């Protein structure tokens, strides 16, 4: 994204925008920053009651409550990151028209709020996992690079669709609809083993989605090695496909954003 992004002035601007975005996000709220933890926990609680207690999903999955919490936290991170990033340019229109700076900073600052939230939530997940009897292991160290992979995917989408959204304002709305559909296409509330029992091919197709791959890999690393992963289902070659998709999406996002960013001040 260019060396200019890391100049002193740009670092200061990025830091100030991150602070402002994070403060504004919870301004006027009684619970304030606690919503960063409460929101995913409330979503997890609802899903757990409905799908674990009522519909009996995940009875065969070790530590299913942690399994579900991991999926909920990672999905919220990806969703929040992409949504904030896609709308960041239009929301910072006044700043873009007044100042000359790398426009990437606006997207990075908007998505950084989601990064702060997910880091807090991962700490909650770890505590919850320990209380649920999950035994710590060296594979927990894989969680951080997997979070980086998920962030790069969300950032690439934010750059690509955020640039498109300036000219075609329907892009943001279309993405929200797609996200609602994707929630059920990714093994968040249901274990992937349910799909595997019906069709191995369908499970392999689902795992080509980088979000599904990352969620399952984090579950494998953090909770149980019994969690199905793309690597186990399809082998190393196919296992690299979703990582390749992340790289392609990120590069396309950077290139398209760079091409269109010179016109943002006129169009925003």
pLDDT digits (tens, 9 = 90+) for 165-220: 988 888 888 999 999 889 888 988 888 888 888 888 888 888 889 999 999 999 99
Average pLDDT, stretch 18-47? 71
pLDDT on residue 102: 85
**133-142, 184-193, 230-239, range with greatest mean pLDDT:** 133-142
Task: Tell me the domain boundaries of the chain.
Answer: 3-267
CA distances 75 to 90, 92, 176, 204, Å, are 24, 25, 13, 20
pLDDT at 27 over 80: no
pLDDT exceeds cutoff 90 at 233 = no
Higher-pLDDT residue of 39, 245: 245
- What integer pLDDT is reported at residue 111 of this predicted model? 92
Of 8-17, 66-75, 253-262, least confident by mean pLDDT is 8-17
Q: What is the mean pLDDT of residues 157-163?
A: 94
DSSP 207-248: TTSHHHHHHHHHHHHHT-TTS--HHHHHHHHHHTHHHHHHHH
What is the percent of the chain with per-residue pLDDT over 90, rounded to a whole number?
A: 35
Per-residue pLDDT reduced to its tens digit, 77-133: 999 999 999 998 888 878 888 877 888 999 999 898 889 889 988 988 998 899 888
Residue 261 has pLDDT above 90, yes or no: no
Rounded average pLDDT over 27-47: 70
pLDDT band (50, 70, 90) for residue 3: very low
Predicted local confidence at residue 192, as pLDDT: 85
Query: Where is pLDDT greater, at 226 or 23?
Result: 226
Predicted pLDDT at 26 = 63
pTM for the model:
0.88
* Sequence-separated contacts (24+) of 245-251 with Cβ below 8 Å: 245/153, 245/208, 245/210, 246/149, 246/152, 246/153, 246/156, 246/210, 247/152, 249/153, 249/156, 249/157, 249/160, 250/152, 250/153, 250/155, 250/156, 250/159, 251/156
């Amino acid at each position: 994204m260019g060396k200019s992004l890391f100049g002193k002035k740009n670092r200061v601007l990025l830091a100030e925008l991150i602070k402002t975005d994070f403060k504004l996000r919870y301004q006027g709220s009684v619970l304030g920053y606690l919503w960063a933890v409460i929101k995913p926990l409330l979503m997890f609680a609802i899903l757990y009651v409905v799908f674990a207690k009522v519909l009996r999903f995940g009875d065969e999955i070790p530590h299913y409550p942690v399994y579900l919490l991991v999926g909920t936290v990672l999905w919220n991170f990806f969703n929040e990151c992409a949504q904030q990033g896609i709308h960041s340019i239009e929301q910072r229109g006044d700043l873009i028209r007044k100042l000359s700076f790398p426009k990437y900073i606006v997207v990075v600052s908007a998505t950084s709020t989601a990064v702060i939230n997910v880091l807090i939530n991962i700490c909650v997940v770890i505590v919850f996992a320990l209380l649920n009897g999950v035994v710590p292991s060296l594979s927990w160290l894989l969680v951080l690079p997997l979070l980086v992979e998920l962030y790069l995917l969300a950032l690439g989408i934010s750059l690509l669709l955020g640039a498109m959204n300036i000219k075609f304002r329907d892009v943001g709305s279309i993405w929200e609809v797609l996200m609602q559909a994707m929630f059920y296409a990714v093994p968040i509330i249901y274990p992937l083993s349910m799909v595997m029992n019906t069709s191995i091919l369908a499970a392999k197709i689902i795992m080509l989605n980088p979000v599904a791959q990352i969620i399952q890999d984090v579950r494998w690393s953090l909770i149980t090695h019994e969690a199905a992963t793309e690597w186990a289902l399809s082998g190393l070659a196919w296992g690299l496909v979703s990582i390749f998709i992340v790289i392609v999406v990120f590069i396309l996002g950077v290139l398209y954003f760079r091409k269109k960013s010179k016109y943002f001040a006129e169009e925003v």
